[in-house]
Structure 1
Amino acid sequence: MTALLPDDLVLTRRRWSVRASRRALLCAVAMGLLLMALCVTALMVGEYVVTPEALVRTLLGDPPARLDGFFVLGRRLPRALVAIVVGICLAVAGAVFQTLTHNPLASPDVIGISSGASVGAVTVFLVWGGSIDQAALGAIVGAVVMAGVIMLLTARSGLHGVQLVLTGVALSAIAMAVVDYVLTQVFVASATTAQTWLVGSLQGRGWSDLLPAAATLVVLVPIIATTAPAVRMMPLGDQLATALGVRLTRARWVLLSCATLLVAIAVATAGPVSFVALVAPHIARLLCGRTSLIVAGLTGAVLLLASDLLALYAFPAPIPVGAVTITLGGGFFLWLLFREGARRD
């Protein structure tokens, strides 16, 4: 059993207990409030402005005008909720990969899982002539296959160290080379549609896109939470953790499977949105001083929803949200590398 820290709170009730950090709880509340503010903003702003009174009445089922109901309930609310769910999926998956491998660079878009999903989607959409919905299924299959290949190639060294990242980078490069080749062999219109999806976009996302992603998140996050005791034991080393009765092999397989499925459904819903899975866990650790899946998930939701607002309204014409996350995430990651280098010096 790991020692309690001065910041810890322990809630007990008969046969179960929950340990939480005061700082993490405060961060979660702050992130939740920020997310609510961004969501309200997303519902109100745009070419058609919705007043606060009209927004409240529309959400209560009594829109003062038909356009209020159309824009709030038909277009803006499902898009905002999709951004929130996809952001949570990516951030939680990134936190799981980084914790599982003890490597701060081990995010789905770095180690190749997102690229595998891209290959699956492009193959279904451009090679086999499937629809966008069928391409989403191809993305899920591609992500799962890529995760399996990574597991096979790192079976000897394990899911840690530089070898995992280098293997993922190599596989990602191969996967994107396949995608680029396919794009050069199809009609320009189809290639343009595929390229927009490959950047990551929430354009046209609605209630039908939200339900599968939300259902997957609701099912997988509690499964990940049940492995929390094993995760806390991992830093002690395999031998000591096993001696304490922790089934590390089983925990790793459960975490890897759940994280892969979260990435797969996120990519299937919004395309391979970059850097959210990599950056959100780092921001959460900076805020909390430790790894917190709740804070990481809320941070991912805030990042993606804020990026979508910027993509819609900060430029002369709307751009894919992935272009914004690449810019913001890349800038943050460069700052993080500079900060770590200055600290070592």
Structure 2
Amino acid sequence: MSLRVRDHALTSDDLVLRDPRGKWSLRSSSRTARVCAALVVLLLGLVVAALMLGEFTVTPAQIIETFRGNAPDQRTEFFILGRRLPRALVAITVGACLAVAGAVFQMLTRNPLASPDILGISGGASVGAVMVMLVWGGSTAQASLGALIGAVAMAALIVALTARTGLHGVQLILTGVALSAIAGAVVDYVLSQVFVASATTAQTWLVGSLQGRSWADLVPAVAVLAVAAPILLWKAADARTMTLGDSAAIGLGVNAARTRWILLFVATLLVAVAVATAGPISFVALVAPHLARRLCRAESFLAAGLTGAALLLVSDLVALYAFAFPVPVGVVTITLGGGFFLWLLWREGRRRA
């Protein structure tokens, strides 16, 4: 049942989805719903573009026939189902994981500059994955576990170092920058101690790349995102309340400590699986929540996830076809995200001035 609320919501644009028995209700904004619908349409268009573009061109009719099980030939079926579709879906899933994690960190810390790569979470995941792959010779699945352990360890270290001041303020950002530098130094040391071929492969992965991603790479990211989605839906209202501050949240009946730990663990898990799948792709987690917030004029994990998915898929298409030779997608996100980061710092400086 859908009910438009005019007297008790923050704005007349709010919608409430309510159980007929009154056991649960979910508030949303019609603007957010329209933005999410538009982002879904954009993603579908980008997926079609990803399937069509390349040296071996594919027509929309061939795509439809292939999905119906009547591929014109084996070559077309291979490029659509075996190569381009899994890469596009991996880009969507990894982008969504990073963006949602970034939105969670920004809400928890009440800091617009907070993101997993700036706070060092991605760096910790990189250290864990690189140690497993290059030092212990582990597989990709084992590297995913290493990334999870590294990300959780780095998050625990950040919480310990900011225990007195809390997860907000300039100290948090400076702590994250320092830990990111230390993690980068550890990764560089490991790379200098292995064979050149292994170091080159790992270095490409560390920039962030979707090259060669298959259906097997998609499964862990989709599984983690499927587990995280209902938890985030459950805690979304509490997270928005916590942006008012812990005192206000507690006064409104939110268990701030428990909510913070749950959201921090979920966000760390999302970062870990994203890094393990495609490497530490930078700035998606920083940029996407800001874009979603500007589009919706409100906080929304769903809008942030869809924005991150579209952003990474666009970046991957640019990385594949905008240059003379394909480049890792991380190069594109670093270029775009770096400019956005500088603009964000400039805007924050003007606001404080």
Bucket of the pairwise TM-score, normalised by the shorter protein: over 0.9
Unmatched segments (≥5 aa) in structure 1: none
Contact 2:107 2:240 in 1 (8 A): no
Tell me the equivalent position of 1:10: 16
The whole-number CA distance in structure 2 between the counterparts of 1:338 and 1:286 is: 17
Cα distance per residue 1:142-200 (max 9 Å; x no partner): 11111111111112221111111111111111110111111112111111011001000
Indicate yes or no: 2:266 matched with 1:250. Answer: no
Aligned length: 344
Contact 1:224 1:254 in 2 (8 A): no
Indicate yes or no: 2:270 matched with 1:266. Answer: no
Distance 1:156 1:144, change over 3 A: same
What is the identity, as a one-letter code, of the residue corresponding to 1:134? Q
Deviation at 1:262, TM superposition (A): 0.3
* Structure 1 range deviating more: 214-223 or 123-132: 123-132
The whole-number CA distance in structure 2 between the counterparts of 1:336 and 1:53 is: 43
The whole-number CA distance in structure 1 between the counterparts of 2:292 and 2:308 is: 9
Percent sequence identity is: 68
Report matched runs for 1:81-100 at 5 Å.
Answer: 81-100=89-108
Distance 1:63 1:247, change over 3 A: same
Cα distance per residue 1:53-95 (max 9 Å; x no partner): 1000101211111111100000011110000000000000000
The whole-number CA distance in structure 2 between the counterparts of 1:268 and 1:117 is: 8
Deviation at 1:235, TM superposition (A): 3.4
The whole-number CA distance in structure 1 between the counterparts of 2:285 and 2:243 is: 22
TM-score normalised by length of structure 2: 0.94
Tell me the equivalent position of 2:223: 215
Deviation at 1:340, TM superposition (A): 4.6
Cα distance per residue 1:22-64 (max 9 Å; x no partner): 2111111111111111100001111111111100010121111
Tell me the equivalent position of 1:317: 325
Alignment counterpart, residue 336 of structure 2, candidates 317, 324, 328: 328
Unmatched segments (≥5 aa) in structure 2: 1-7
Contact 2:107 2:243 in 1 (8 A): no
The whole-number CA distance in structure 2 between the counterparts of 1:146 and 1:341 is: 29
Contact 1:91 1:278 in 2 (8 A): yes
Cα distance per residue 1:205-263 (max 9 Å; x no partner): 10101011101101111101111221232134323422332111110000000000000
The whole-number CA distance in structure 1 between the counterparts of 2:192 and 2:24 is: 57
The whole-number CA distance in structure 1 between the counterparts of 2:245 and 2:152 is: 28
* Structure 1 range deviating more: 69-78 or 124-133: 124-133
Contact 1:91 1:277 in 2 (8 A): yes
Tell me the equivalent position of 1:111: 119
Report matched runs for 1:1-345 at 5 Å.
Answer: 3-13=9-19, 14=21, 15-341=23-349
What is the identity, as a one-letter code, of the residue corresponding to 1:176? G
Distance 1:168 1:337, change over 3 A: closer
Cα distance per residue 1:102-156 (max 9 Å; x no partner): 0111100000000001111111112122234432221121111111111111122
